[in-house]
Amino acid sequence: MRSRPRLIDVARDAGVSPATVSRAVSQPELLAAATLALVQASARKLGYVPDGAAQALASGRTMTVAAVMPTLDSIIFAKALQSMQVALSAVGYQLLVASHEYSVGAEAEAVRLLLARGIDGLILVGAERPEATNTLLRQANVPVVLTWCPDGVNASVTVDNALAGRLAAEHLIRLGHRRIGMVCGHLLFNDRQRARLEGVRAALAEAGLDLPDWRISHQPMTISGGRNGCSALLECADRPTALIGGIDLFALGSIAEAQARGLCVPSDLSVVGIDDTEMASQVSPSLTSVHIPTAQIGEMAALTLLGRIRHAEPPADRLLPINLIVRRSSTVPPAADALQRSSET
Protein backbone atom coordinates (compact mmCIF):
# COMPACT_ATOMS: atom_id res chain seq x y z
CA MET A 1 0.00 0.00 0.00
CA ARG A 2 1.51 3.25 -1.20
CA SER A 3 1.38 6.48 0.68
CA ARG A 4 -0.79 9.31 -0.54
CA PRO A 5 -0.33 9.91 -4.25
CA ARG A 6 1.54 13.03 -5.17
CA LEU A 7 1.20 15.46 -7.96
CA ILE A 8 3.79 13.66 -10.03
CA ASP A 9 1.85 10.43 -9.82
CA VAL A 10 -1.16 12.11 -11.29
CA ALA A 11 1.00 13.66 -13.99
CA ARG A 12 2.38 10.28 -14.88
CA ASP A 13 -1.02 8.66 -14.90
CA ALA A 14 -2.51 11.36 -17.06
CA GLY A 15 0.52 11.50 -19.32
CA VAL A 16 1.09 15.20 -18.77
CA SER A 17 3.72 17.26 -17.00
CA PRO A 18 3.59 18.13 -13.32
CA ALA A 19 3.08 21.75 -14.26
CA THR A 20 -0.13 20.84 -16.01
CA VAL A 21 -1.46 19.00 -13.01
CA SER A 22 -0.58 21.95 -10.84
CA ARG A 23 -2.53 24.20 -13.16
CA ALA A 24 -5.46 21.84 -13.15
CA VAL A 25 -5.60 22.33 -9.43
CA SER A 26 -5.02 26.01 -9.10
CA GLN A 27 -5.76 27.67 -12.42
CA PRO A 28 -8.02 25.35 -14.39
CA GLU A 29 -8.96 28.13 -16.80
CA LEU A 30 -5.52 27.98 -18.30
CA LEU A 31 -5.96 24.45 -19.53
CA ALA A 32 -7.71 23.09 -22.56
CA ALA A 33 -10.97 21.50 -21.53
CA ALA A 34 -9.86 18.08 -22.70
CA THR A 35 -6.59 18.21 -20.78
CA LEU A 36 -8.35 19.39 -17.68
CA ALA A 37 -10.83 16.56 -17.83
CA LEU A 38 -8.03 14.08 -18.33
CA VAL A 39 -6.10 15.32 -15.34
CA GLN A 40 -9.15 15.49 -13.15
CA ALA A 41 -10.02 11.94 -14.04
CA SER A 42 -6.57 10.75 -13.02
CA ALA A 43 -6.65 12.79 -9.87
CA ARG A 44 -9.95 11.35 -8.86
CA LYS A 45 -8.88 7.86 -9.78
CA LEU A 46 -5.79 8.06 -7.60
CA GLY A 47 -7.49 9.96 -4.81
CA TYR A 48 -5.05 12.78 -5.13
CA VAL A 49 -5.17 15.50 -2.49
CA PRO A 50 -2.68 18.35 -2.85
CA ASP A 51 -0.30 18.84 0.04
CA GLY A 52 -1.08 22.13 1.70
CA ALA A 53 2.34 22.60 3.21
CA ALA A 54 4.03 22.15 -0.11
CA GLN A 55 1.59 24.49 -1.80
CA ALA A 56 2.19 27.04 0.88
CA LEU A 57 5.94 26.78 0.62
CA ALA A 58 6.03 26.96 -3.14
CA SER A 59 3.42 29.63 -3.60
CA GLY A 60 3.89 31.71 -0.51
CA ARG A 61 0.17 31.53 0.16
CA THR A 62 -1.15 29.53 3.05
CA MET A 63 -4.85 30.04 2.39
CA THR A 64 -5.13 30.53 6.09
CA VAL A 65 -5.97 33.57 8.13
CA ALA A 66 -5.99 33.92 11.85
CA ALA A 67 -8.21 35.69 14.32
CA VAL A 68 -6.91 36.56 17.75
CA MET A 69 -9.75 37.31 20.12
CA PRO A 70 -9.86 38.17 23.79
CA THR A 71 -11.73 34.94 24.40
CA LEU A 72 -13.50 32.47 22.21
CA ASP A 73 -16.28 31.64 24.61
CA SER A 74 -17.95 35.00 24.77
CA ILE A 75 -21.20 35.15 22.84
CA ILE A 76 -19.98 38.23 21.07
CA PHE A 77 -16.66 36.98 19.82
CA ALA A 78 -18.04 33.55 19.12
CA LYS A 79 -20.66 35.09 16.89
CA ALA A 80 -18.12 37.21 15.06
CA LEU A 81 -15.90 34.18 14.65
CA GLN A 82 -18.72 32.17 13.24
CA SER A 83 -19.50 34.71 10.56
CA MET A 84 -15.82 35.12 9.74
CA GLN A 85 -15.45 31.41 9.35
CA VAL A 86 -18.40 31.19 7.01
CA ALA A 87 -17.18 34.06 4.86
CA LEU A 88 -13.68 32.64 4.70
CA SER A 89 -14.52 29.05 4.01
CA ALA A 90 -16.75 30.18 1.17
CA VAL A 91 -13.63 31.13 -0.72
CA GLY A 92 -11.44 28.29 0.48
CA TYR A 93 -9.67 29.99 3.33
CA GLN A 94 -9.14 28.38 6.69
CA LEU A 95 -9.49 30.14 9.99
CA LEU A 96 -6.96 29.78 12.78
CA VAL A 97 -8.01 31.05 16.17
CA ALA A 98 -6.23 32.15 19.28
CA SER A 99 -7.28 33.90 22.45
CA HIS A 100 -5.46 35.99 24.96
CA GLU A 101 -7.82 36.50 27.89
CA TYR A 102 -7.17 40.22 27.89
CA SER A 103 -3.45 39.81 28.35
CA VAL A 104 -1.32 42.02 26.13
CA GLY A 105 1.58 39.64 26.42
CA ALA A 106 -0.52 36.68 25.45
CA GLU A 107 -1.76 38.52 22.40
CA ALA A 108 1.75 39.38 21.31
CA GLU A 109 2.84 35.81 21.81
CA ALA A 110 -0.13 34.47 19.89
CA VAL A 111 0.60 36.83 17.03
CA ARG A 112 4.22 35.79 17.00
CA LEU A 113 3.36 32.11 16.84
CA LEU A 114 0.76 32.69 14.19
CA LEU A 115 3.14 34.68 12.02
CA ALA A 116 5.77 31.98 12.38
CA ARG A 117 3.31 29.28 11.43
CA GLY A 118 2.45 31.26 8.36
CA ILE A 119 -0.78 33.11 7.71
CA ASP A 120 -2.00 35.26 4.86
CA GLY A 121 -3.88 37.70 7.02
CA LEU A 122 -4.81 38.51 10.56
CA ILE A 123 -7.89 39.78 12.34
CA LEU A 124 -7.45 41.43 15.70
CA VAL A 125 -9.81 42.97 18.20
CA GLY A 126 -9.28 46.53 19.31
CA ALA A 127 -6.55 48.97 18.47
CA GLU A 128 -4.64 49.01 21.70
CA ARG A 129 -1.40 47.07 21.73
CA PRO A 130 2.25 47.65 22.49
CA GLU A 131 4.41 49.13 19.79
CA ALA A 132 6.46 45.92 19.77
CA THR A 133 3.47 43.98 18.51
CA ASN A 134 2.78 46.54 15.83
CA THR A 135 6.38 46.40 14.73
CA LEU A 136 6.19 42.66 14.52
CA LEU A 137 3.10 42.96 12.39
CA ARG A 138 4.66 45.52 10.12
CA GLN A 139 7.77 43.46 9.61
CA ALA A 140 5.80 40.37 8.84
CA ASN A 141 4.09 42.38 6.14
CA VAL A 142 0.83 40.58 6.60
CA PRO A 143 -2.53 42.29 5.98
CA VAL A 144 -4.26 43.09 9.24
CA VAL A 145 -7.85 44.02 9.89
CA LEU A 146 -8.87 45.46 13.22
CA THR A 147 -12.32 44.97 14.62
CA TRP A 148 -14.40 47.01 17.04
CA CYS A 149 -11.84 49.83 17.24
CA PRO A 150 -9.77 51.51 14.51
CA ASP A 151 -6.14 52.53 14.89
CA GLY A 152 -5.72 54.79 11.89
CA VAL A 153 -3.11 52.55 10.32
CA ASN A 154 -4.58 49.16 9.63
CA ALA A 155 -7.83 48.46 7.91
CA SER A 156 -10.70 48.22 10.35
CA VAL A 157 -14.31 47.21 10.70
CA THR A 158 -15.68 48.98 13.69
CA VAL A 159 -18.54 50.47 15.56
CA ASP A 160 -18.51 53.68 17.53
CA ASN A 161 -18.28 52.35 21.05
CA ALA A 162 -18.36 55.78 22.59
CA LEU A 163 -21.59 56.41 20.75
CA ALA A 164 -22.94 53.16 22.11
CA GLY A 165 -22.30 54.38 25.64
CA ARG A 166 -23.75 57.72 24.75
CA LEU A 167 -26.94 56.26 23.30
CA ALA A 168 -27.51 54.23 26.41
CA ALA A 169 -26.88 57.19 28.69
CA GLU A 170 -28.92 59.66 26.69
CA HIS A 171 -31.86 57.32 26.71
CA LEU A 172 -31.79 57.16 30.47
CA ILE A 173 -31.25 60.88 30.84
CA ARG A 174 -34.19 61.54 28.60
CA LEU A 175 -36.31 59.32 30.82
CA GLY A 176 -35.40 61.55 33.73
CA HIS A 177 -32.69 59.54 35.45
CA ARG A 178 -30.04 61.55 37.19
CA ARG A 179 -28.17 58.94 39.15
CA ILE A 180 -26.87 56.51 36.59
CA GLY A 181 -24.41 53.77 37.41
CA MET A 182 -22.32 51.64 35.13
CA VAL A 183 -21.11 48.10 35.33
CA CYS A 184 -18.08 47.94 33.18
CA GLY A 185 -15.42 45.40 32.21
CA HIS A 186 -11.84 45.89 33.22
CA LEU A 187 -10.37 48.66 31.11
CA LEU A 188 -6.93 47.20 30.83
CA PHE A 189 -6.29 46.20 27.22
CA ASN A 190 -9.94 46.72 26.45
CA ASP A 191 -10.49 49.87 24.45
CA ARG A 192 -14.07 48.85 23.67
CA GLN A 193 -15.13 49.07 27.29
CA ARG A 194 -13.12 52.20 27.77
CA ALA A 195 -14.80 53.92 24.85
CA ARG A 196 -18.23 52.89 26.02
CA LEU A 197 -17.52 54.21 29.46
CA GLU A 198 -16.27 57.48 28.05
CA GLY A 199 -19.37 57.78 25.90
CA VAL A 200 -21.53 57.39 28.97
CA ARG A 201 -19.46 59.88 30.88
CA ALA A 202 -19.60 62.43 28.08
CA ALA A 203 -23.36 62.15 27.72
CA LEU A 204 -23.83 62.55 31.44
CA ALA A 205 -21.49 65.51 31.53
CA GLU A 206 -23.42 67.23 28.77
CA ALA A 207 -26.55 66.81 30.85
CA GLY A 208 -24.79 68.33 33.79
CA LEU A 209 -24.48 64.99 35.55
CA ASP A 210 -21.37 63.25 36.58
CA LEU A 211 -20.23 59.70 36.87
CA PRO A 212 -18.19 59.36 40.02
CA ASP A 213 -15.89 56.39 40.33
CA TRP A 214 -18.04 54.84 42.99
CA ARG A 215 -20.87 54.61 40.49
CA ILE A 216 -18.75 52.51 38.21
CA SER A 217 -18.16 48.88 39.05
CA HIS A 218 -15.48 47.04 37.16
CA GLN A 219 -16.19 43.37 36.81
CA PRO A 220 -15.06 40.26 34.99
CA MET A 221 -17.10 39.88 31.85
CA THR A 222 -19.65 37.34 32.98
CA ILE A 223 -23.20 37.38 34.21
CA SER A 224 -21.96 36.97 37.76
CA GLY A 225 -19.85 40.01 37.13
CA GLY A 226 -23.05 41.83 36.26
CA ARG A 227 -24.74 40.61 39.41
CA ASN A 228 -21.85 41.60 41.59
CA GLY A 229 -21.53 44.95 39.91
CA CYS A 230 -25.20 45.67 40.37
CA SER A 231 -24.95 44.54 43.93
CA ALA A 232 -22.06 46.87 44.63
CA LEU A 233 -23.77 49.84 43.03
CA LEU A 234 -27.06 49.28 44.82
CA GLU A 235 -25.37 49.09 48.13
CA CYS A 236 -23.78 52.46 48.11
CA ALA A 237 -25.66 55.38 49.57
CA ASP A 238 -27.56 57.45 47.04
CA ARG A 239 -28.20 54.42 44.93
CA PRO A 240 -28.58 54.85 41.20
CA THR A 241 -32.01 54.67 39.59
CA ALA A 242 -30.55 53.28 36.43
CA LEU A 243 -27.69 51.07 35.40
CA ILE A 244 -25.83 50.72 32.16
CA GLY A 245 -24.08 47.46 31.42
CA GLY A 246 -20.91 47.80 29.37
CA ILE A 247 -21.99 44.56 27.78
CA ASP A 248 -25.36 42.84 27.76
CA LEU A 249 -24.08 40.21 30.14
CA PHE A 250 -23.68 42.88 32.81
CA ALA A 251 -27.15 44.22 32.18
CA LEU A 252 -28.61 40.73 32.32
CA GLY A 253 -26.78 40.02 35.55
CA SER A 254 -27.95 43.32 36.94
CA ILE A 255 -31.56 42.51 36.22
CA ALA A 256 -31.16 39.16 37.91
CA GLU A 257 -29.54 40.72 40.94
CA ALA A 258 -32.10 43.50 41.22
CA GLN A 259 -34.90 40.97 41.05
CA ALA A 260 -33.20 38.78 43.60
CA ARG A 261 -33.17 41.78 45.91
CA GLY A 262 -36.86 42.27 45.45
CA LEU A 263 -36.51 45.29 43.22
CA CYS A 264 -38.70 45.59 40.20
CA VAL A 265 -37.06 46.24 36.87
CA PRO A 266 -37.76 48.75 35.42
CA SER A 267 -39.94 50.55 37.94
CA ASP A 268 -37.37 50.48 40.73
CA LEU A 269 -34.31 50.26 38.55
CA SER A 270 -33.87 50.81 34.86
CA VAL A 271 -31.26 48.73 33.11
CA VAL A 272 -29.74 49.23 29.69
CA GLY A 273 -27.24 46.97 27.97
CA ILE A 274 -24.88 47.28 25.07
CA ASP A 275 -24.58 44.59 22.37
CA ASP A 276 -28.16 43.47 21.99
CA THR A 277 -27.41 39.76 22.11
CA GLU A 278 -30.15 37.23 21.58
CA MET A 279 -30.84 36.99 25.30
CA ALA A 280 -31.71 40.67 25.45
CA SER A 281 -35.00 40.24 23.68
CA GLN A 282 -35.84 37.02 25.50
CA VAL A 283 -35.40 37.77 29.15
CA SER A 284 -38.13 39.19 31.29
CA PRO A 285 -38.31 42.12 31.32
CA SER A 286 -36.77 42.33 27.89
CA LEU A 287 -33.61 44.35 27.86
CA THR A 288 -33.22 47.78 26.34
CA SER A 289 -29.88 47.59 24.60
CA VAL A 290 -27.70 49.28 22.03
CA HIS A 291 -27.57 47.01 19.04
CA ILE A 292 -24.09 46.18 17.83
CA PRO A 293 -24.00 44.24 14.56
CA THR A 294 -21.63 41.63 15.86
CA ALA A 295 -22.03 39.05 13.15
CA GLN A 296 -21.68 41.71 10.53
CA ILE A 297 -18.45 42.90 12.07
CA GLY A 298 -17.09 39.39 11.71
CA GLU A 299 -18.24 38.97 8.17
CA MET A 300 -17.06 42.37 7.02
CA ALA A 301 -13.74 41.87 8.72
CA ALA A 302 -13.27 38.65 6.83
CA LEU A 303 -14.29 40.21 3.54
CA THR A 304 -12.11 43.23 4.09
CA LEU A 305 -9.19 41.01 4.88
CA LEU A 306 -9.81 38.92 1.79
CA GLY A 307 -9.90 42.10 -0.25
CA ARG A 308 -6.55 43.10 1.12
CA ILE A 309 -5.09 39.67 0.50
CA ARG A 310 -6.46 38.95 -2.92
CA HIS A 311 -6.78 42.34 -4.51
CA ALA A 312 -4.19 44.20 -2.51
CA GLU A 313 -6.80 46.74 -1.49
CA PRO A 314 -5.43 49.55 0.63
CA PRO A 315 -6.44 49.83 4.28
CA ALA A 316 -9.88 51.33 4.76
CA ASP A 317 -12.09 51.91 7.75
CA ARG A 318 -15.68 50.80 7.81
CA LEU A 319 -17.86 52.07 10.56
CA LEU A 320 -21.01 50.06 11.03
CA PRO A 321 -24.16 51.73 12.32
CA ILE A 322 -25.51 51.01 15.77
CA ASN A 323 -28.81 51.93 17.33
CA LEU A 324 -30.69 51.80 20.57
CA ILE A 325 -33.38 49.17 20.89
CA VAL A 326 -35.82 50.24 23.55
CA ARG A 327 -37.49 47.36 25.36
CA ARG A 328 -39.02 46.86 28.78
CA SER A 329 -36.10 47.19 31.14
CA SER A 330 -35.98 50.95 31.11
CA THR A 331 -38.53 53.52 32.18
CA VAL A 332 -38.82 56.75 34.15
CA PRO A 333 -37.20 56.80 37.58
CA PRO A 334 -39.29 55.88 40.62
CA ALA A 335 -41.63 58.65 41.80
CA ALA A 336 -39.92 58.80 45.17
CA ASP A 337 -36.76 59.56 43.41
CA ALA A 338 -38.36 62.25 41.30
CA LEU A 339 -39.53 63.93 44.48
CA GLN A 340 -36.23 63.55 46.18
CA ARG A 341 -34.54 64.88 43.14
CA SER A 342 -36.69 68.01 42.98
CA SER A 343 -36.17 68.66 46.66
CA GLU A 344 -32.47 68.45 46.06
CA THR A 345 -32.59 71.07 43.37
Neighbouring residues of 197: CB distance < 8 A, sequence distance ≥ 6: 165, 182, 184, 187, 216, 246
Q: How many helices (H) and strands (E) does the chain have?
A: 14, 12
Residues 113-132 that bind its own copies (CB under 8 A): 113-118
Please identify which residue in 18, 103, 198, 222 interacts with its own copies, judged by CB under 8 A. Answer: 222
Q: Is 256 in the site for its own copies (CB under 8 A)?
A: yes
343 binds, among its own copies, DNA, none (CB under 5 to 8 A by kind): none
- How many residues belong to the site for DNA (CB under 7 A)? 30
Distance CA(270)–CA(277), nearest Å, equals 18
78 binds, among DNA, its own copies, none (CB under 5 to 8 A by kind): its own copies
Please identify which residue in 1, 2, 47, 60 interacts with DNA, judged by CB under 7 A. Answer: 60
Q: Is 26 in the site for its own copies (CB under 8 A)?
A: no
Residue 126 zone, left/alpha/beta (φ > 0; ψ -120 to 50; rest): left
Give the CA angle between residues 195, 199, 205 to the nearest 5°.
Answer: 140
Q: Is 37 in the site for DNA (CB under 7 A)?
A: no
Please identify which residue in 37, 57, 132, 336 interacts with DNA, judged by CB under 7 A. Answer: 57
Only one of the segments 70-78, 203-211, 228-236, 307-315 lies at the binding site for its own copies (rule: CB under 8 A); that segment is 70-78
From 211, 208, 197, 210, select the one nearest 168 (Cα to Cα). 197
Q: Coil, strand, or helix at residue 318?
A: strand
Q: Is 309 in the site for DNA (CB under 7 A)?
A: no
Min dist CB 310 to DNA, Å, is 13
Contact positions toward DNA, by CB under 7 A?
3, 6-8, 15-20, 22-23, 25-26, 30-32, 34-36, 48, 50-51, 54-55, 57-61
